Amino acid sequence: MVQRQLPQVRELAALMQFKKPQLSAKKRRLDSALTIQDLRRIAQRRTPKAAFDYTDGSAEGEISLSRARQAFEDVEFHPGILRPAVDVDTTCQILGGPSALPFGIAPTGFTRLMQTEGEIAGASAAGAAGIPFTLSTLGTTSIEDVKAANRTGRNWFQLYVMRDREISYGLARRAAAAGFDTLMFTVDTPIAGARLRDKRNGFSIPPALTLRTIVNAIPRPWWWIDFLTTPPLEFASLSSTGGTVGDLLDAAMDPTISYDDLATIRGMWPGKIVIKGVQNVEDSKRLIDLGVDGIVLSNHGGRQLDRAPVPFWLLPDVVREVGKDATVMVDTGIMNGADIVASVALGAKFTLIGRAYLYGLMAGGREGVDKTIDILRTQLVRTMRLLGVSSLEELNPSHVTQLTRLMPVSRAMTEAADASTPRPRASASRSRAGTSSKATATAKTTSAAAAKK
């Protein structure tokens, strides 16, 4: 039987040490965030719906984004045992320079709409962490101000080719003059994707006050105070604004861009050039053969073509075809440091984070971006140590299995079904055309049934 006694005062004192209260509300909410999803929830509480949904949403049914995130969740790791990884080295060389971590900040447009510190917060946080920052063509901070915020760090510039080519050329020249070392030529936006959340919210640039936005702003007065008491938004590449983001993109972008534009841009850019928005093996091989410095497998965060290829699924095939020495990077769907580890293990030289960075920005400005980087760094290091690897170079495909929920129907099966479908003659009667339609439907049904087996 347990012998009981009265507690000693000094023992009680040791057990009743109260935590010092944190007076900063911002620090309290950021300290409570343990994951990027935690930052997302804080951001959603603090940001008006239209601005949050612009960041959080993607195109049409948002299938591309959900598949990309699911692909990372469907990863099985294979740790090695009895391999101590006490000191983990997360540094890497990318595009001719160093990075303290195998990820950088992706280009994001209209960033000061999410939180007024915008790109300055992202660039300064990236510089402090020793990782690259990428400024978008549709950024809301000038090239020169980003350089001033990240004077000794690495700055990259993302370029769209506009209908007015001189706008794009002028931006590239300014970025080069400011010392940006890499140009990220983006090729997946000939027109804007259908971002339905923005249309349903009536989201416009600049934000328009409606009864709905006023009601939504009532519990978030700090956002509007910041927005109305800081310098107005300025866009480096847009001479006029007004309308939805899709309207602005359609007016500015040129759907006729081609390899000739790539050649022109390469001729004027003195640094490294990377092609962002590559979505198949054939284009990857062609670009590497042309001698570009790198490619980014990306479906634009699911914001352009819905049901586009999942970059993480595409990664092993591309690396196998272009060679392990080629610089292949990946983005879309990264929400955890483990996602970055899996990407590097399958051959990615580097990764980019977009929404994860913006969730931190909306949650707490510069300190929120610092928190994003810290969360991902902590998860990255912990995952590597649990796998038993001490450096990025030790990661390899044996550490990862990609589990798949969506299996593609084989080309042979679909071609066989297509070949077996009768083709109606031009002079066929209506009744014969109807018979052909029934045969086509039967073939599709047979193919679908076979695909399920």
Q: Using CA of residue 25, residue 30, residue 34, residue 40, what is the dihedral sign?
A: positive
| Pair 202, 215: CB distance under 8 Å | no
DSSP 376: H
Phi, psi values for residue 277, rounded to 5° = 110, 20
Whether 78 is a known active-site residue: answer no
Structure tokens at 402: 């990609």
Longest dimension (CA), the chain: 103
Alpha carbons 269 and 143: distance in angstroms, whole number: 15
How far is 224 from 220, CA to CA, in rounded Å?
7
Three-state SS for 350?
A: strand
- Of 272, 300, 349, 377, the active-site residue reads 300
Residue partners of 399: CB distance under 8 A and separation at least 6? 77, 78, 79, 341, 345, 387, 389
By CB atoms closer than 10 A (0-12, 13-18, 19+), residue 285 is middle
Neighbours of 218 (CB within 10 A): 8
Q: Which sequence positions are flagged as catalytic?
A: 300
